[in-house]
Amino acid sequence: MQIPDCSISESVTYSDLSVRLSVLIPCYGTASLVGRLLKSLVPLAGHGVEILMADDCSPDGVDKAIARALATDAEALAPYTRVLKNERNLGLASTRNRLFDEARGRYIAVVDSDDYVDAMPMLAALSEAESCDADIVAAPFFTTDGAEKVSRVAIPEDYDLNRLPVHVKSFSLCNKLIKRKFVADNGLRWFDGLNRWEDLGMTSRMYALAPDIKVVTDGWYRYVIDPARPTLSTFAREATVADRSAITLRVQEWMAERGLSEKYSEFLTALKFYAKGGYLRMPVDIKAWRSTFPEAKASLTSPAAVPLLYRLAFMMLG
């Protein structure tokens, strides 16, 4: 079997105008898993969907794993897939920016290479987005161990930032189809170099712009939780707090530039609470917790996005 070249492909057989959806997939350290994802995407072939992948200098030969999948189980996707290779490791956020710049679809979807999808509900959501011209379509998603255990994660119906819990179910990107023009026209980018809370950094600014959000009931995303693969948010506490704090400051600056700080002051306060929350994990570092965003003070009435139990704990710690 000949393995196809894993470089930028220009063999896509449709015009830019016919691309309905661009699926953005950064790849790093997932050579053993990316085939599963590509196989799950096969039903998208021929429906105006392009698959954009980027090998972020992965040390495990993920480029070859992609090529093998496109030559075997996911062969139907090959004409609609472009694979980029970063010259140096850019990290998740910057790689997503590169993929977004390559995208031609009317809508975009973000998929992690160690997860997978149910393609038919994804196509149904795309048709729903097109029929109502929504800026964003959001759906429930599923957590799984990659085998039998699957749990449905419900999502909010209302996306008022001051009321949204700072939680993956509120701020995840994986369960959304997003109009590319909405992102581009508002100059939205992932914050380069900040790879923890990168979803929140993007979605919180989207919500602040009051987009037209359509919520559907049938989810497509399968988020795989593998205890043997530590996530960026749990692997290193100091780095996690640093990235989350930096995201918080960047979002705060962005809102200040647009005169939105007062309107979303409760959300910004909640964000500061959660950004430094890593210091309350074992081993607890109360000194660091108190010195990080000391201006974020809890009360029993606000911010609404912080559950009452957390507010009581924060008050006692403060």
Residue 8 has a pLDDT of 39
Measured in residues, the chain has a length of 318
In angstroms, the CA 113 to CA 27 distance is 6
185-209 pLDDT, tens digit per residue, is 999 999 999 999 999 999 999 999 9
Please give the pLDDT value at position 304.
Answer: 84
Give the up-direction half-sphere exposure of residue 192: CA atoms within 13 A in the CB hemisphere. Answer: 5
DSSP letter for each residue of 75-105 = GGGGGGEEEEE-SS---HHHHHHHHHHH--S
3-class DSSP state of 136: strand
For residue 242, the one-letter residue type is A
- The pLDDT value recorded for residue 229 is 60
The segments of the chain whose pLDDT lies below 70 read 1-17, 148, 227-235, 300, 318
Instruction: Locate 152 and state its tokens.
Output: 């449905």
Q: Kindly calculate the radius of gyration of the chain based on its CA atoms and give it in whole angstroms.
A: 20
Q: Which pLDDT does position 23 carry in this prediction? A: 98
Kindly state the tokens that stand for 197. 């809370």
Question: Residue 135 CB: number of other CB atoms within 10 A?
Answer: 20
Strands (E), the chain: 21-27, 49-55, 81-85, 107-110, 116-117, 136-138, 141-144, 150-153, 176-179, 213-215, 221-224
DSSP code per residue over 20-33: -EEEEEEESS-TTT
pLDDT number for residue 17: 63
Residue 273 near residue 296, CB atoms below 8 Å:
yes
pLDDT given for residue 145 in this prediction:
83
Q: Does the pTM of the predicted model rise above 0.85?
A: yes
φ, ψ of residue 151 to 5 degrees: the values are -125, 135
Summary count for the chain: helices (H), strands (E): 12, 11
Alpha-carbon dihedral sign for residues 36, 41, 46, 49: negative
Q: What is the pLDDT of residue 15?
A: 54
Cα gap 111→135, rounded to integer Å: 18
pLDDT given for residue 122 in this prediction: 98
Alpha carbons 79 and 45: distance in angstroms, whole number: 8
- For every residue of 248-286, DSSP letters joined together read HHHHHHHHHHTT-TTTTHHHHHHHHHHHTGGGGSSSP-H
